[in-house]
Amino acid sequence: MSHGNRWRWFSPWYFLFPFLVVSSLLIVWPTLVTAGLAFTDFNAVSAPVWVGLDNFLRLAQSEIVRTGLVNSGIFVALAVPLRTAGALGMALLLRGRERPFGVLRGVVYLPTVIPEAAYALIWLWILNPVYGPLNLLLGAVGLPAINWLTDPVYARLGMVILATFQIGEGFVLLLAARETIAQDVYEAAAIDGADRWRAFRYITMPLLLPWLLLLVGRDLLVSLQNTFAPSFIITYGGPYYATTFVPLLVYEMAFDFLELGMAAALLLFVLLVTGLITLAITDFSVVKE
Amino acid sequence: MKNRLFSFLGIVFLVFVQGCTPPPPAVTFSVFGDPAELAAYESLVEAFHEQNPQIKVQLQHIPSQSDYRRRLATAFSAGTPPDVMLINYRRFASFAGQGGLEPLDTYIEQSEIINRSDFFPIALSSFEWRERLWCVPQNVSSLVVYYNRDLFDEAGVSYPEDNWRWEDFMRAAQELTQDHDRDGQIDQYGAGIAPNLFRLAPFIWQDGLDIVDDPLQPSRLTLDQPEVLTVFQRFIALQTVDQVVPNANAEAAEPSENRWLNGGLAMYFNSRRGVPTYRTIDSFEWDVVRLPITQDEWIGILHSDAYCLAAAAENKEAAWQFIEFANGVQGQTIVARSGRTVPSRPDVAQSPAFLDGLPPANAQTFIDTVDQLRGVPVMAGWTAIEEITGKEIERAFYGQVSAEEAAAAAIELTAPYFENNQ
Amino acid sequence: MTRGSRHQIGRIARLLAASVIALAFFLPFYWAVVISLRPLGSPPPSTIVWWPSEAQWSNYTAIFSIVPFARYFLNSVRVAAVAVPLTWFFASITGFGLSRLPYRWRRLLVPLMAIMLVIPGVAFWIIRFRVFQFFGLLDTLWALIAPAFMGGNPLFILLFYWTFRRIPQDLYEAARMDGASWWQVWVYIGSPLSRATGAAVVVLAFVKFWSDFTDPVLYIFDTGKYTLPVGLQLIRQLDQTNIPLLMVGAVFMILPVLVVFITMQRVFWRERPTGLFPTRSRARRERI
């Protein structure tokens, strides 16, 4: 560490410098401009024209936008509890140092790291109503085939199912959190005569609760946004708007219909909602400290 | 200390901008399509370079149409669209109406290479809007019926001919829809057609009606008018009543075009664009025939893409030279050889470049019907109108709602786009 | 004895249950491989196939002659090879710098980063086009690499941030007392102690750059510079329903991710991933 003094001037702020510059260019500035476009009529070609809150009024009146918001709401309401429960269940099942557990942990994490376009393409095949392995499997055990791609209810459910396998991040978070609970707490409880369920109910759950809340909050945001690739590739929003989620709607408005002002307004609305959720989560001391 | 700070900044900056490219090429040219089309455009650019070594054309090829639209919108928004781009006549108005495209009337009038009279009139006129010519058409495809000759032979049905009527089509479709193993599941469909406004429109026209109230100043769709509704109902009856086309589930399991390719569908409605893929079929013989006629007057629907010049292009002269070349005999010949398009120039369309002896044998029908084609209205919001209406037609087609309900919903949901156009 | 064996039985039961469930996570990929081995263009099977009767391994070579897959693959490798180390470096130093700031700044910047994390990508496309144009990065692979210079994704920075906050503060203090600069603290203390986080970030960054199918079609013009996801799009244009070929493409996209994932997994689990996530101080005390 002989060169230490030469670099003494280097305060922690300098470490942040590249990030501050590049993120201003690639994130902050683009977001501010997009937010500004929300108050304009912009069709990609001629200059944006200021229209005040017009776009928001049109959004409020649009039936399709309402459908998109409802769809996203249904998706989140189904996917978030399922994903959280799945992550918790797998984390509790797969703790342990033996090799098989390590391999299984990797397998559970797998769908999370698969490129989303490839993942959606695979599911397009799996959900095929006649030739898809899922329906063939249902048929093999004597269950009726399900119209995954053509029935509005099952199309939405299909989207939820494929999202339920992408829980790797929450899974690792809870796995790590579970590790922090000391074994002697359970041993003491066992001596007091607590069974497994009681131990789970009165020790594991309360201690994991802050992480579960964090996870639920984070999942609200992730689930809202991650619907784009599957709905774009598998159903293109169909059947009849059943899987037209907000991100697909923004995309369609902006790039199919060239209503970039409207798209920006919808985006800004989503951003405000997600921003509020984010602030609520980061308010937990767990995140900041 | 200050010096160190600056050198640090300098390094960060250098690392960031490293990899700068040389100045952009003189002319950028954007297209989309499959690998076969890419090859055709590559040879087009190559031939242009041979004759005009001083102009560099950069071909920008984007595989999918949706990505292509996204790129165009992004590039236009950023103020730097490609200099030359291929756009469909149903879409160019969104760009032209706002001053994004350069009107080309004066260019074509002064050109020594191409003239208005070189092109099929319908192709040119579909890119005329607000009394200007906006793009130079590359092709004039139309909707035809591709049919599997082997399936017709097996069923003992005579091949369709260019004067066939809707009743002939229905009879053939019914006879060719078969359940070979009698398990209640149809294994062979008589026909396949995409349920959307673009496929429905020609049948509405043939009945002497229209899809909008006024094709020049459209203010609403007419799907709810009783006569139009009758045609609409006849169209969806293909699936809901006659069941000669795949139902929603069968379509989701194996799309009509795939069934057609695999020999499980006898008549498929498509434009010229399917030909390169269909030429790879070796399990059966196929050909094309024009649309069946429903009333007295035969009308087909125009498909056409054109080379458009961006108003923001820096070197318009060079860009125009490329458009000229691409639409000259040599340029159109190169693209015609891909088999994917029907050339917009009668001279190239009648040449061996297009009538190349490869299937379809009846390729002449694409040329013979050009004068009886009609286009959908040219207006800025048309893409949205077609997309939204398509979703309504689709659910009526698959029997989820009645034609009346679908028509009413389409009219309500598309109203804002007509309003914006006023 | 009874307690021990009951414990053992519980463990085995847990393993069995976990295996059955984990199978469901694995089956989609297995099916993708099975389908990719069917003859190209063949009609789909109507019974469940566990292994194709005649596996067409030639599909995996055929794809290279149908689209310029090799070139796309190479471009993707080039992007990832440059972007992933850069992402690791910038995310690490940013997270480190952030963790050394006074509380009032952290309280401001951490939520800000969390918000940046949730802005949908659509919001960036148009302006990034302009920014890249300004810096002359349009139509260069640098346009795809650029986010690496801000640590790839605010999440990666936050992961490092939480890790560095967890390292006992005395370690830093001692090094500073010895006259070490912050650089040296990062090099000799921060960096080695964040290896597990680093491994996680490398995997996630690799996935991010490897699977990006939006940026190439927006910012790359020259088809010779396209990356693998564009190749996948090209196959879809060719014949939307040629499922075997599409799955070959999907497998090609997934394989490198798997390789990186499995390699990094060793580091990741060995280093105990607990440092990865925010830990409440109470829980920390219990562990020590």
- Averaged pLDDT, A47-59: 92
Beta pairing partners, B374: B301
Convert the pLDDT of each residue in C185-217 to its tens digit. Answer: 898 888 888 888 898 899 889 999 998 888 898
Which amino acid is present at C142? W
Q: Kindly identify which residue of chain A lies nearest to residue B400, measuring between CA atoms.
A: A240
- Averaged pLDDT, C239-256: 84
Structure confidence at residue C43 as a pLDDT band (50, 70, 90): low
* pLDDT on residue B184: 80
- Averaged pLDDT, C100-107: 89
Question: Is B66 in Cβ contact with A238 (below 8 Å)?
Answer: no
Select from A9, A46, A255 the Cβ nearest to the Cβ of B70. Answer: A255
Q: How far is CA B85 from the centre of its chain?
A: 15
**Domain residue extents for chain A:** 26-61+258-289, 63-257
Question: Is C133 in Cβ contact with B63 (below 8 Å)?
Answer: no
Q: Beta strand A49-50 with A40-41: parallel, antiparallel or unpaired?
A: antiparallel
Q: Whole-angstrom Cα distance, residue C39 to residue C36?
A: 8
Q: Rounded to a whole number, what is the distance in Å from the CA of C181 to chain B's nearest CA?
A: 14
Assigned fold of A63-257: MetI-like fold (1.10.3720)
Q: Whole-angstrom Cα distance, residue B383 to residue B240?
A: 27
* pLDDT on residue C7: 73
Residue carrying structure tokens 């040389």: B22
Q: Which of C270, C149, C142 is nearest to C198 (CA)?
A: C270
* pLDDT on residue B12: 46
What radius of gyration do chain B's Cα atoms show?
Answer: 24
For residue C279, is pLDDT > 90?
Answer: no
Question: Is C67 in Cβ contact with B34 (below 8 Å)?
Answer: no
Q: Whole-angstrom Cα distance, residue B63 to residue A117?
A: 15
Are the beta carbons of B76 and B362 closer than 8 angstroms? no
Give the contacts of B11 (CB within 8 A, at least 6 positions apart).
Answer: none
- Averaged pLDDT, B145-174: 95
Question: Is C238 in Cβ contact with B21 (below 8 Å)?
Answer: no
* pLDDT on residue B422: 56
* pLDDT on residue C262: 85
Peptide bond into A239 cis (omega under 30): yes
B164 touches chain A (CB under 8 A): no
Beta pairing partners, B293: B165
Which own/partner pairs from A101-108 qualify as long-range (CB within 8 Å, at least 24 positions apart)? A101/C15, A101/C18, A102/C265, A102/C269, A104/C15, A104/C18, A104/C19, A104/C22, A105/A171, A105/A175, A105/C269, A106/C261, A106/C262, A106/C265, A107/C22, A107/C25, A107/C26, A108/A167, A108/A168, A108/A171, A108/C22, A108/C25
Structure confidence at residue C268 as a pLDDT band (50, 70, 90): low
Q: Which residues of chain B does A14 touch, with a Cβ-Cβ cutoff of 8 Å?
A: 8
Question: Is B70 in Cβ contact with C218 (below 8 Å)?
Answer: yes
Select from A150, A240, A255 the Cβ nearest to the Cβ of B73. Answer: A255
Coil, strand or helix at B311: coil
Q: Kindly identify which residue of chain B lies nearest to residue C66, measuring between CA atoms.
A: B35
**Exposure letters C224-256 (e unless 16+ CB within 10 A, then b):** ebbbbbbbbbbbbbbbebbbbbbbbbbbbbbeb
Q: Which residues of chain A does B73 touch, with a Cβ-Cβ cutoff of 8 Å?
A: 44, 254-255, 258, 260
C112 touches chain A (CB under 8 A): no
Give the contacts of A19 (CB within 8 A, at least 6 positions apart).
Answer: C90, C94, C150, C151, C157
CA distances, A108 to each of A164, B228, C22, C115, C197 (Å): 11, 55, 6, 28, 19
* pLDDT on residue C57: 86
Select from A6, A16, A285 the Cβ nearest to the Cβ of C98. Answer: A16
DSSP B180: T
Are the beta carbons of A158 and A242 closer than 8 angstroms? no
Q: Which helix (H) or strand (E) holds B7?
A: helix B2-17
Q: Which of B271, B247, B268, B266 is nearest to B257 (CA)?
A: B268
Convert the pLDDT of each residue in B363-380 to its tens digit. Answer: 999 999 999 999 999 998
Structure confidence at residue C281 as a pLDDT band (50, 70, 90): very low
* pLDDT on residue C183: 87
Looking at the 3D structure of chain C, how many domains does it have?
1
Q: Which CATH number does the domain housing residue C219 bear?
A: 1.10.3720.10
Q: Which of C93, C223, C243 to mutate to test the interface with B (most CBs of B within 10 A)?
A: C223
A209 touches chain C (CB under 8 A): no
* pLDDT on residue A160: 95
Q: Give me chain B's average pLDDT, please.
A: 90
**Residue C64 domain flag:** yes
Q: Whole-angstrom Cα distance, residue C279 to residue A211?
A: 9
* pLDDT on residue B354: 94
Q: Which of C214, C230, C248 is nearest to C71 (CA)?
A: C230
Q: How many residues does chain B have?
A: 422
Reported as half-sphere exposure (CB side, CA atoms, 13 A), residue C205 has a value of 37
Residue carrying structure tokens 């989609």: C28
Q: Kindly identify which residue of chain A lies nearest to residue B78, measuring between CA atoms.
A: A44
Are the beta carbons of B337 and B40 closer than 8 angstroms? yes
Q: Which of A134, A233, A258 to mutate to test the interface with B (most CBs of B within 10 A)?
A: A258
**Residue C46 domain flag:** no
Question: Is B58 in Cβ contact with C221 (below 8 Å)?
Answer: yes
Structure confidence at residue C59 as a pLDDT band (50, 70, 90): confident
What radius of gyration do chain C's Cα atoms show?
Answer: 23
A6 touches chain C (CB under 8 A): yes
Reported as half-sphere exposure (CB side, CA atoms, 13 A), residue C127 has a value of 20
Beta pairing partners, C20: none
Neighbours of chain C (3+ CB pairs under 8 A): A, B
For residue B421, is pLDDT > 90?
Answer: no
Q: Rounded to a whole number, what is the distance in Å from the CA of C219 to chain B's nearest CA?
A: 8
* pLDDT on residue C168: 85
Give the contacts of A63 (CB within 8 A, at least 6 positions apart).
Answer: B412, B413
**Exposure letters B219-229 (e unless 16+ CB within 10 A, then b):** eebbbbbeebb
The backbone torsions φ and ψ at residue B42, rounded to the nearest 5 degrees and listed phi first, read -60, -45
DSSP assignment of C85-100:
HHHHHHHHHHHHHHHT
What radius of gyration do chain A's Cα atoms show?
Answer: 24
> CB count, 10 Å around CB of B259?
24
- Averaged pLDDT, B287-311: 95
CA distances, C198 to each of A220, B84, B328, C193, C207 (Å): 26, 46, 59, 9, 14
* pLDDT on residue C274: 43
B63 touches chain C (CB under 8 A): yes
Domain residue limits at C164: 60-287
Q: Which of B79, B40, B41, B34 is nearest to B60 (CA)?
A: B41
Lowest mean pLDDT of B204-218, B326-340, C13-27, C228-242, name the range: C228-242
Answer yes or no: is the ipTM higher than 0.90.
Answer: no
Q: Whole-angstrom Cα distance, residue B268 to residue A252?
A: 28
Are the beta carbons of C222 and C140 closer than 8 angstroms? no
The backbone torsions φ and ψ at residue B188, rounded to the nearest 5 degrees and listed phi first, read -140, 125
Structural domains of chain B in order of their starting residue, each with its CATH number: 27-140+304-374 (3.40.190.10), 142-300+378-421 (3.40.190.10)
B249 touches chain A (CB under 8 A): yes
Q: Among residues of chain B, what percentage have pLDDT more than 90?
A: 75
Which chain C residues in 151-210 lie under 8 Å from chain B, judged by CB atoms?
A: none
Structure confidence at residue A209 as a pLDDT band (50, 70, 90): confident
Q: Rounded to a whole number, what is the distance in Å from the CA of C249 to chain A's nearest CA?
A: 8
Which chain B residues in 59-88 lie under 8 Å from chain A, judged by CB atoms?
A: 66, 69-70, 72-74, 76-77
Q: Among residues of chain C, what percentage have pLDDT more than 70?
A: 89
Question: Is B17 in Cβ contact with C135 (below 8 Å)?
Answer: yes
Q: Kindly identify which residue of chain B lies nearest to residue C235, measuring between CA atoms.
A: B34
Question: Is C67 in Cβ contact with B35 (below 8 Å)?
Answer: yes
Select from B76, B383, B413 the Cβ nearest to the Cβ of A44. Answer: B76
* pLDDT on residue A6: 64
Convert the pLDDT of each residue in A116-168 to its tens digit. Answer: 888 998 999 899 988 888 998 898 888 998 999 999 999 999 999 999 999 98
Structure confidence at residue B265 as a pLDDT band (50, 70, 90): very high
Give the contacts of C258 (CB within 8 A, at least 6 positions apart).
Answer: A110
Convert the pLDDT of each residue in B306-323 to its tens digit. Answer: 999 999 999 999 999 999
- Averaged pLDDT, A1-5: 49
* pLDDT on residue B322: 96
* pLDDT on residue C50: 79
* pLDDT on residue B9: 47
* pLDDT on residue B126: 93
DSSP B160: P
DSSP A27: I
Q: Which residues of chain B does C140 touch, with a Cβ-Cβ cutoff of 8 Å?
A: 19-21
